[in-house]
Amino acid sequence: MPGFKDNLLQLARSSGISPKYFEAVGIHVWPAILHKIEAAFITKTSSNMHFNWWWENFKGPQYSIFFETVWRLII
């Protein structure tokens, strides 16, 4: 019985996304991937900063738009 992972991989294949760019990784591989993402996109403010709070420390300029503003623009 296919699960979530199988469905997601099938969706990627049917969308034309190469396995080179989108594939399942093992439980022991993802920490290295997480560290690579952190090094590229996050300004680390403390050694115990958890990835749940990364959105507060993105590198470069940050922009936000509120739902109410978007709603007025599309109507």
User: Residues 24, 29, 33, 38: what is their CA dihedral angle, to the nearest 10 degrees?
Assistant: 130
pLDDT at 75: 63
Reduced to 3 states (helix: H, G, I; strand: E, B; else coil), residue 58 is: strand
- Neighbouring residues of 64: CB distance < 8 A, sequence distance ≥ 6: none
Whether the pLDDT of residue 23 is over 90: the answer is: no
pLDDT at 44: 81
Whether the pLDDT of residue 48 is over 80: the answer is: no
pTM of the full structure: 0.54
Note whether 52 and 46 are within 8 A (CB).
no
Q: How large is the greatest C-alpha to C-alpha distance in the chain, in angstroms?
A: 47
pLDDT at 38: 87
N residues, the chain = 75
